[in-house]
Chains A and B, each alone.
Chain A
Amino acid sequence: MKKQNAATMFKNPQLQESIIKQYKEAGLDFQVKHSNYNTQIIGQESVIKFIQTEHSIKVFIAYNKIVADLKKSDKTVEILQGDWSTENFDSKNGLKPCSYKTVLNLDITSAYPYCLFINKLIGLDTFNYLMALPKNERLPAIGMIAKKSVWIDYQKGKATTWDVKTGEYANIFFFVIQQITDLMAWAADIAGDDFLFYWVDGIFLKPTISKKKLQEITGIFAEQGYYYKYENVKNFSVVRENDKLYINMIKNGDEKPYTMYDKNLARNFTKVLQQLENA
């Protein structure tokens, strides 16, 4: 049933909390929905929506086009049944604190739309529509397929039930993440000692990497159907604090900090313990 009153505001946690508190104190029946994109307080007579960013209608059109194509794709069912990792970064095993005046950064161009297209999950029309969107609209359109929301029901001001709703095609998004991560890990493996770290669809390599290795990496990107570009990265530095890595750089003229944990430490330690168990 459509609510009579609706209001949309930008995210304001304090205001959200005070409204929920008021509803609870008044003993009302209402629902609260929290998602990556917004929080909605759905009352008997009104809906109050708090949004993070206001997306253009094109984002929703693109999302609907993707969903429509996923419904038609032969590969969707198979991929939905898979188990895909969502970890999309890694660093060199044993990465030491270091600094370089310049670093080689290879970025896959429009990695996620290409991945959907290469894997025949979307058609050419949807692909072209996505590619026509600016980057800051393209990513949310694809990310929406992994939407997840928590619904909490309140009756007479008291929370009674809660439920987590995940987008029907969320696993497709995770599949895309893993495909790109696998490609990055492959490139990292070829780079060997010249590998520094990768983050989503971009890999950072030591400036001393040989031409041969670089050709092998770009050859694999091309062979898999992806385009890539070199980005201008200067003043690269890595600072380590136990398992935390603080990476700073100037990328295309802008300062870009990354903070990640070094997964290799725990990974190595687990391997050592396994070896000792087996000894």
Chain B
Amino acid sequence: MAKKKSAPKYIDRKYNYPKGYTERGKKKTGFAPSKLGAKLFVEANLDKIKKGTLPFDSLTTREKRIYRGKQSNTFANTFRFKDKNFYDPTGVLRKALDNIPNLKGKRNLTNLLPEKDFKEFFDQRINPTKGKLNEKDRSKWLEFSSSLYDFNKGEKKQFYRDESGSLMDIVTKLQKSRKQGREVRVIDTDGSIKTGVDAIERMRSFEAEKVKQFTDAADEGDNIQLQIIYISTDWNPYTNTVTYNLNNVQVNDLNQTP
């Protein structure tokens, strides 16, 4: 039996809100929630951790995890301008910004660059040919593009788990992809477009419909092994958004496969 993976338990420290911290226009003082506190702590000490002045080993598990996330390429190359994210798969913008003292390490470029020029820059100046997905990136996307079900009718549904023990249902995977800075966009069966949380919710209901369709057709106790592959994954490297088209989905009944 596969070992059940439980949610990570973090041993946190107590964090105070930094001086002058405001949230939705309100000043915050006292203790901050651990999740937020750890994030603010790592952000404030990013350079020290990088240099080793603040030893990596002295960080809590949560802080280590946040720090690793901030060291990832996706994080470093995702830029914010007003309410939109821009992902530069080429990494050239990050390199250019890091060579300018005032812009070093900056990811939110609102108020720092002219809006029109910045958007044009993303559309034109970053050569799309430089942004082609390499094999590693491609496999990362495919990781999020299929679901596997294995259960007996009448029993509780079981999802396959991958080698690391992660659930392989689409919702878990898409949420994981969003945490990594990727956005999800869904073209629904009626052609309408859904984004963000709505997109994930639509993927969930779509899968539930497909699973129900096969379950209804099976007899009590029958084994159902289902693979749902979202073939039409289109990726926009500039916004780091993947588009799933629900009109182009392959559903494989693995019990029927020779």
Contacts and interface: CB of A to CB of B under 8 A. Distances in A.
A272 B111 contact: no
Contacts, number: 51
A268 B102 contact: yes
Contact of B100 (A94, A242, A268): A268
Given A93-B112, A265-B114, A271 B100 contact: yes
A269 B92 contact: no
B75 to A, nearest CB: 20
> Of A243, A271, A272, which is in contact with the most chain B CB atoms at under 10 Å from its CB?
A272
Interface in B73-116: 92-93, 95-97, 99-100, 102-103, 106, 111-116
Contacts of A242: 114-116
B118 interface: yes
Interface in A242-279: 242-243, 262, 264-266, 268-269, 271-272, 275-276, 279
B114 A276 contact: no
B117 interface: yes
Contacts of A93: 102, 112
Given A268-B102, A269-B118, A276 B112 contact: no
Given A269-B117, A272-B103, A240 B111 contact: yes
A272 to B, nearest CB: 5
A271 B112 CA distance: 12
A275 B96 contact: yes
B49 to A, nearest CB: 21
A275 B99 contact: yes
B20 interface: yes
Interface string A65-103: 000000000000000000000000000011110000000
A266 B116 CA distance: 11
Contacts of A266: 114
